[in-house]
Amino acid sequence: MKINKTIFWIVCSAIAIAMASFVLPYLRTSESKNIDIIANVVDQPKKDIAIFFAGDAMFDRGIRYFSGQNGGNDFVFQKISDFLLKNDLNVVNLEGPITDNNSISINSKVAAPDNYIFTFNPSWAQTLWQHNILLVGIGNNHILNFESRGVESTKQYLLKAGVNYFGEPYGKRTVIKEMQGVKVGFVAYNEFLGGYTKEKNEVVSAIKNLKNQADIIFVFCHWGQEYQKDPSLVQKEFGKDFIDAGADAIFGAHPHVIQNMEEYKGKRIYYSLGNFIFDQYFSDDVRNGLGVIVKINPTTRDMQFEDKHFYLEKNGQTVLLGN
């Protein structure tokens, strides 16, 4: 019995040595491959950050009617949702407050006072989030349609839905969003609040204050004259002032038509992006909207700009033109 046990252990040891000589080289090779794979992943450049800017978004009056007749809010976004979901961040001008009030404008006559008083159903806050519009500017001439209580209601509904904001009248003018380690600051200029010069000076101060906190600064302006295809002298002057203060690009809204883009000191000023979602169909000028994707390299902070063109269908939908 003792001899048999000795032979048994000798045989087992021989088998173990043989298996080790076969398996260990494979394990080393696999380990080496794994290290190479990990190194390749680490060495891959980071994907550009894509931030999309668009103009005026209004969800009352005709848009309220069309969404109600076609199964709900998603109908309005049906033809642009896939595009929006591809971007890291979508930013639009929210042209009015979100409140529990009934609509005043939906059955009003064109050009009547009530035709220009907007309120958006609270459900639109969640709709914005679902379609990846996670930041909105609320510095415009309609946000106070239901006075300060409308502003407070808007803030509450947006934040509850996971949508941030900037441009609050007499409140939060700026916000910083961090993406892939890049801190992007957003500043609102509202020509219809507090007088041109006073508002401009406050924006200049806000930009300078953000310079120590953000890597890149965008200014979203609500300015200019409605339906005028050329920017005003005030737009041109203030846009340059904002660049001089440290802004990296300017995006405008309010005229409801596209105005030209100008480069100043190597920085872009889009004077007006026109309409994005709106119930204005009386001319091609108001039915055509411009959007801009800003692609930011997270390593170098370099920016590239890509224009996108949209068209407002008479059923309340916005469609993307081209690719």
Q: Please determine, for residue 139, whether its predicted confidence score (pLDDT) is greater than 60.
A: yes
pLDDT of residue 138: 98
70-115: per-residue pLDDT in tens? Answer: 999 999 999 999 999 999 999 999 999 999 999 999 989 999 999 9
**Average pLDDT estimate for 10-33:** 44
CATH fold label, 49-321: Purple Acid Phosphatase; chain A, domain 2 (3.60.21)
Q: What is the mean pLDDT of residues 191-214?
A: 95
2: helix, strand or coil: helix
What residue spans define the domains of the chain?
A: 1-44, 49-321
pLDDT for res 38: 33
pLDDT tens track for 221-245? 999 999 999 999 999 999 999 999 9
- Torsions phi, psi of 314, nearest 5? -75, 0
pLDDT at 230: 98
Beta strands in the chain (DSSP E): 49-57, 89-94, 135-137, 164-166, 174-179, 182-190, 216-222, 249-253, 261-264, 267-270, 275-277, 288-296, 303-312, 318-321
Task: At 237, list the tokens.
Answer: 């002057």
Query: pLDDT tier at 27 (50, 70, 90 boundaries)?
Result: very low
